[in-house]
Amino acid sequence: MSGAGTEPARDVLPGVVGWLERNLCFFDPEMWERHLPRRPFSAGPLLELLGFLRLLSDTPAPAPVRPVSEGLRAGALALAEQVVDTAEFTRRLRRADEFFPYHLNLVALQHLMGRPRPGLLHRCEALLVAGAGGHFQPHRPLLSRLELRYVADRAGVAVPQGVPGLAALYRQSLPGLGADPLALDDTEVYAFTHALFYATDFGAHALPPGAAVDDTVRVLLASHLIGGHLDLLAELLLCADVVGPEETDLVRRGWTALASAQRPDGAVPGPVHRPAVLAGLTGEKAEAYLFGTCYHTTLATGLAAAARLRQVSRPVPQAPSPCLPESAAEGAPSPYPPVGADPDAVREWAGAVAAAAAHATEPDRGRWVEAVAGALVLCARRRDRPGLEAVLGAAGVLGVAGSPLVRSATARLAAGWCG
């Protein structure tokens, strides 16, 4: 990966770290519950923060990040100690209920980050080996079993005999089986991204054998770029580095979208963030709303940036991908619909591409083909039949009507789908 390819990640990361440190108080479960809706596992945001900081510690981060991240790391670990050193935490851990994987993960992250609680870690291991809670039973959700196996392996914790390994569980996951991007809703896309995270420790290891996922990641990335879903865009940018960290026009556009969306204070707005709502709030209510609607997307952006920077030290055999101009032909439609395009904008773009394709340059046609695949998946997710028809029309003119994705969408429409 070229140094130039990491510049957007380097640009966004200091802002992410600074915002997280300034808002550290909201990662305290008690502070969260005073201002924001109660979560089933109260330390969930803190757990996510610690996961990010662990990854950041392995990253050749830009110089401005290091001094700030040390303060954030110390503060986050102090909050984790407050959580795990309570009788309530131990009581709930011993129940081995559906939140047991999160209890184990929190204790394991403390261990990995130099604040071990050996008594708690041994208790977790004993419960796990004894089969308390049945968390590895075949009827449990696959993603939960994959996550728990990942957490246990990373912490060096034993599991019951006969439990499938990480690679075997991954092969049963959405990416391992070969997911159909036309059939995935947002919840399933999150399951897709997280399976890749757990199977590779967020890109630290090679992906286990399974179905080819490069095309699926690329199509989903294009879809969520066009749709403007910054949370999944960040997660899919991390996935793009997991499956093939070469520079592409699509990856550059994704990072540009995240960098453009980042607020001056460093936060990256999430899908539920509404600036108009924030404008009507003041004081702690405003701070809490901003945190609650931005923290996860900001963390996801930080994770993707840290993972991308971690690739810098790893040689990747590839030919450099040129940074192509926005359009090679004057007056041609843009390579992609605008970020956050509504259905009308997608249909208008697809119509313009269909009209211009016959006389377009090869660079323009290549970018449109990639964008058409993403737009097709976005329209399918929206159940937007007019949009699907417009995008399929563009695909036909571009000569990709025979691709599996286009043929699948065409067949579904012919069967009356979205009628």
Predicted pLDDT at 317: 41
Predicted pLDDT at 327: 47
13 within 8 A of 53, measured Cβ to Cβ: no
What single letter denotes the amino acid at residue 375?
Answer: A
Query: What are the b/e assignments for 348-363, b being 16+ CB within 10 Å?
Result: ebbebbbebbeebeeb
What single letter denotes the amino acid at residue 290?
Answer: L
Q: pLDDT digit string (tens) for 258-294? A: 999 999 999 999 999 999 999 999 999 999 999 999 9
3-class secondary-structure state, position 295: helix
DSSP string, 325-393: -S-SSTTPPPSSPPTT--HHHHHHHHHHHHHHGGG--HHHHHHHHHHHHHHHHHHHHHT-HHHHHHHHH
Query: What are the b/e assignments for 58-95, b being 16+ CB within 10 Å?
Result: ebebbeebeebbeebbebbbebbeebbeeeebeebbee
Euclidean distance between CA atoms 389 and 394, whole angstroms: 9
The torsion angles phi and psi of 117, rounded to 5 degrees, stand at -125, 80
Residue 108: how many other CB atoms lie within 10 Å: 23
Predicted pLDDT at 64: 57
Q: Pick out the chain residues at pLDDT < 70.
A: 1-6, 60-68, 245, 312-331
Euclidean distance between CA atoms 132 and 100, whole angstroms: 10
Predicted pLDDT at 210: 79
Predicted pLDDT at 322: 41
Instruction: Quickly list H helices, 212-268.
Output: 214-227, 230-243, 249-261
> How many angstroms separate the Cα of 386 from the Cα of each of 71, 344, 346, 375, 417?
52, 9, 10, 12, 12
DSSP element (H, E) containing 404: helix 404-414
The encoded tokens of residue 323 equal 């940074």
Residue 168: how many other CB atoms lie within 10 Å: 13
333 within 8 A of 356, measured Cβ to Cβ: yes
Nearest CA to 258 among 237, 276, 239, 274? 237
Q: pLDDT digit string (tens) for 199-218? A: 999 999 999 887 889 999 99
Residue with tokens 């130099």: 114
Euclidean distance between CA atoms 243 and 331, whole angstroms: 35
